[in-house]
Each structure stands twice: as structure tokens, then as C-alpha cells.
Structure 1
Amino acid sequence: MNIKATKIIKGTLAFIATLLVLYGARFLWQNYSVAMPLNSGLKSINGVQNVVLEKPSKIYEPIIINISLNNISNFQKTYAEINEKAIQALKGKAYKINIKDTGSDELEKLYSDISIYIEKALIDGSFPSLVEKSDAIAKSIGGESKINIDSKYIYLHITKNDKSLYKLIPRQTQKAGDLK
């Protein structure tokens, strides 16, 4: 081999080694400074059964946090704790929380029946009526519905037997022309 080919091979190998070190460091940083603290923080919350993180393929995409809940008494409080732990662990990085439930077709139908009253409450502010109607509809099938409301969301938790359905409904709807 001539000297020029040897230099090209050495340069290429050095470049590949540098890339491997950089990607390895990024992987370790992602696991030990983001994923593990977030995972352990979320699992410490009462009612959080399982946490699965989906890492984005692009830098500007949010981290997807999939959470399975089990036997919680207050969805609003649990969601607030989850959100707080995510903010602490991710330190300003974009994220999206997906709540996984143990819902059934029957609970989905129940949610569909209640959603009309949710839309009405969002339009005219009739939240007490929403709570009454959802309780009546849930009791008609032997279930239970719990609704909590704050300035950002309506938290709906429907249960029947060992099945639970969690819905987080934004109170502010996106207006035409808004980019979010």
C-alpha cells in the first residue's frame, strides 16, 4: 500500500471511531441523565404501574412518555405529579404524556355518551351539569365516573369492575389560524 492510501484509511478509521465515541456518549447521557431518573421518578408515584419512554428520532421532536395507571383515586392529582416529575427530569426538553388505560368497549361507549355533555360544558360552562349527567350515565351501566376540572383540563376517570378509562380533555380549544 502506498502512503496516501494508508493516510486515508487511518483518517477514515479515526472519523468512525470519533463517531462511535460521540454516539456512545449520547446514548449513555440519554440513559443515565434523562431516562433513568424520569423512569424512577414516575414509578415512585402512587398508581403508576408502568412507564415506557419513546425517544424521538429527531432532536426537535418531543419525548413520548407512555404511562399505565392502576387503581388511582384522583386522576387530576396523579397527572399533576406525573407532569411535575417530567418537568424536573427533562429540564425544559419537549415531551408528551400518553395515559394508557385498561378500558373496554363498554367504557369507550360510555365516554362517547358523556362527550356530548363535555362539549356542551366547554361551550357554555355548565360543569355542574356535566358532573351530574356523567354520574347518571355511568351509574346506568353499573360504573362510576369522576370528573375534576382545572384551568387547563377536564380530567375524566370512568371505572367499571376492574376496568378504567382516563381522558384528559383540554379546556382551551385551538382557534382557526393558531399554530401549536
Structure 2
Amino acid sequence: MQRKYNWFIGLVSVVLTIALLAGGQVLWQKYAVAKPLDKMLQGIDGVERATWEEGAKKEDVKIHVMLRQVGNLPKTYSEITDGCRQILGSRGFKIIIHDNRTPELEQFYYRVHYFIQEAIFTGNFALMAERLEEQAAQNGVAVQAYVDARHVYLKLTKDGGEMYEVVPRTVDSREVK
């Protein structure tokens, strides 16, 4: 009889320990990650709303950000990435930008994205800017293009529609076959 009692106490101890650890994980996720992440994202100019979700792997977090009337896209994007890095630490994350793009702005982007890719490859961003301005004038689109060491930022507006694109300047050689 004594042996059964010890097994029962051991089993109860294991179950309680697992429940305590899971509860601690949920609380940590809520108060150390979720609330600070939500508060940080809502405090950035140009961010209308933001949500996030765990990816397929626990290390991956997808951050959905709705942008509206962003004055300085590189600054806004940098604030988002720096804040996420600070809160998420070593966890990987991907920022997914949502905006109020129109089919016309998407078509314009598809026509000019070749200029952006060519500039990333050649480094001739002045030519890219000239071509973008030329195409924008022909299509009645207001375009703002910015370049920094890591990204090319593009803001397109027309008739109340806004489209934001952030294109990485680095090429992942693993993807090139």
C-alpha cells in the first residue's frame, strides 16, 4: 500500500509542476512580451494598429502593422524593428506591412520594382530615383523613395490610396540558384 501512495504523490507532483510551469509561461508571455509589444507598436507615429502572432516555430513572430499617413517611412520602420528587437530579444520576427493600397498603386509598383532591384544590384540609386520620378509623373503617382544601408523604402500615394514597401538591399545567396 505504501508503494502505491508514493506513486500517486509523485504523479500529482509532476502534474502540478507542469501546470505551474505552463501557467508561468503564459503569464510571462502576456506581461513580458505581449503588453510591452502592443504598447510599443501603438506609440509609433504612423502605426494605425498592430497585431502579432506566433509563427510555426516558437522563435518566429509575425508582426502585422497597419500604416497610415507615414511622414518618414525609414524612421517609422526603424522604430518598429528596434522596439521589436528590444522586447523579443533573440527571437526572430518578421514585419508584415499593411496599408490602404489600391490596384493602381500595386500595378505601378510592379512596373517600377525592376528599377529598385537593378539599383540594389548596381548601387546606382540616383538613376533609380530619376526613373521612379519619371514614371510617377507619367502616372500621377506621388512617390517618396529613401535608401539606407539595409533597405530601400518606397511610399506611393494616389487618390487617397497609400502603399508602403520596404525592400532589403542584401541578397540571400542561399536563395539564388
The correspondence for 1:167, drawn from 162, 165, 168, is 165
Give the match for residue 41 of structure 1.
40
Query: How far off its partner does 1:56 sit?
Result: 3.6
For residues 171 and 70 of structure 2, the distance between their equivalents in structure 1, rounded to whole angstroms, comes to 27
TM-score normalised by the chain length of structure 2: 0.88
Structure 2: where are the runs of 5+ without partners? none
TM-score normalised by the chain length of structure 1: 0.87
Query: How far off its partner does 1:24 sit?
Result: 1.0
For residues 154 and 66 of structure 2, the distance between their equivalents in structure 1, rounded to whole angstroms, comes to 15
Give the match for residue 62 of structure 2.
64
Structure 1: where are the runs of 5+ without partners? none
Of 99-108 and 4-13, deviating more is: 4-13
Query: How far off its partner does 1:132 sit?
Result: 1.9
User: Structure 1 counterpart of 2:41, which letter?
Assistant: L
The correspondence for 1:155, drawn from 132, 153, 156, is 153
For residues 21 and 162 of structure 1, the distance between their equivalents in structure 2, rounded to whole angstroms, comes to 51
For residues 79 and 174 of structure 2, the distance between their equivalents in structure 1, rounded to whole angstroms, comes to 32
Of 92-101 and 103-112, deviating more is: 92-101
Q: RMSD in angstroms over aligned alpha carbons? A: 2.1
Give the match for residue 126 of structure 1.
124
For residues 162 and 12 of structure 1, the distance between their equivalents in structure 2, rounded to whole angstroms, comes to 63
Q: Does 1:30 align with 2:41?
A: no
Give the match for residue 89 of structure 2.
91
For residues 88 and 151 of structure 2, the distance between their equivalents in structure 1, rounded to whole angstroms, comes to 22
